[in-house]
């Protein structure tokens, strides 16, 4: 994955640049990444909406939920219209408003809040989802738990790869949710997004670029459909999660006699046969 002239590209992830006219001037920094969900049916529908609707809204990226596919609508050095009225008080007490000027906006393709019905879980636009696609939890600004369309491991892995690259390319210091900077207007990305873990993971990676053990991590991709993930480096070890998908991005932490200990997502570390993982050069 690389950024050239403020445009993202990758050999494996399908990155499509759509030159969206809804944009401002030169961005300041950028020093912040703002995470959103689309609340729509597909990433392509959202990208098309940003591109062609009359609504004064856009974003830098839209990351697909079900396949390695990213739409970019605005170059990273240019203001996109994703944050709207927004303000935040940072840990050091400094305040900021108008986040579009300083931030890269990344939209994750999910349907948002879901309502449980007799046959499934219904999105606001009428599409129904199955239980295994849902997340049940309480939003930080709400008191009652509810159902949300879950993000996928592949999608979060893709986001992580993008954010790592943004961190080394731009002076990024903060990762915030839209619901952090517009708490009375917005509920995205909501409780289904593991913000604390994601933020910690990104900052840990950043810190480790200075040469501790994680600096030797390599990234790779799964080259077989349904790669088993095990608790240890042999076929006798039990499966610890669902098999990995073809082309899924992983981080290799350790190698031992034909096996890799990998991080497949921010929540999953496990062992896989090294025969079915292809190493990639780091960015």
- Footprint on this chain of Zn ion (rule: CB under 5 A): 36, 178, 188
Nearer to Zn ion, 161 or 188 (CB): 188
Distance CA 4, CA 6 (A): 5
Pairing, β 174-177 against β 32-37: parallel
Nearer to Zn ion, 60 or 263 (CB): 60
Torsion sign over Cα 222, 226, 229, 230? negative
Q: Scanning the structure block, which residue is given the tokens 């497949």? A: 264
Angle (nearest 5°) at CA 194 between 209 and 100: 75
Least separation in angstroms between CB 169 and Zn ion:
23
Least separation in angstroms between CB 46 and Zn ion:
11
Least separation in angstroms between CB 36 and Zn ion:
3
- Cβ–Cβ under 8 Å, residues 149 and 114: yes
Residue 13: strand, helix, or coil: coil
Least separation in angstroms between CB 59 and Zn ion:
8
Distance CA 9, CA 30 (A): 19
Nearer to Zn ion, 189 or 220 (CB): 189
Nearer to Zn ion, 88 or 246 (CB): 88
Least separation in angstroms between CB 178 and Zn ion:
3
Distances (CA, A) of 116 to 10, 127, 175, 191: 38, 12, 31, 17
Nearer to Zn ion, 103 or 248 (CB): 103
């Amino acid at each position: 994955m690389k950024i050239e002239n403020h445009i993202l590209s990758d050999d494996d992830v399908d990155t499509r640049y759509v030159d969206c006219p809804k944009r401002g001037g030169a961005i300041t920094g950028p020093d912040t990444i703002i995470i959103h969900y689309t609340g729509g049916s597909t990433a392509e529908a959202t990208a098309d909406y940003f591109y062609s609707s009359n609504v004064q809204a856009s974003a830098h990226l839209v990351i697909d939920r079900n396949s390695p596919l990213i739409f970019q609508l605005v170059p990273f050095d240019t203001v996109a219209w994703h944050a709207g009225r927004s303000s935040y008080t940072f840990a050091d007490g400094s305040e900021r408003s108008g986040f579009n000027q300083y931030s890269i906006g990344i939209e994750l393709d999910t349907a948002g809040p879901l309502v449980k019905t007799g046959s499934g879980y219904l999105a606001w636009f009428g599409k129904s989802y199955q239980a295994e696609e849902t997340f049940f939890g309480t939003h930080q600004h709400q008191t009652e738990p509810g159902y949300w369309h879950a993000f996928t491991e592949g999608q979060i892995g893709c986001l992580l790869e993008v954010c790592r690259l943004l961190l080394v390319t731009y002076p990024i210091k903060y990762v915030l949710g839209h619901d952090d900077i517009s708490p009375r207007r917005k509920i995205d990305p909501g409780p289904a997004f593991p913000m604390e873990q994601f933020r910690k993971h990104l900052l840990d990676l950043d810190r480790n670029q200075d040469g501790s053990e994680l600096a030797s991590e390599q990234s790779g991709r799964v080259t077989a459909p349904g790669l088993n993930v095990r608790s240890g480096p042999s076929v006798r070890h039990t499966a610890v999660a669902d098999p990995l998908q073809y082309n899924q991005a992983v981080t290799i932490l350790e190698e031992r006699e034909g096996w890799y200990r990998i991080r497949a997502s921010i929540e999953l570390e496990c062992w896989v046969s090294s025969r079915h993982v292809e190493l990639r050069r780091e960015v």
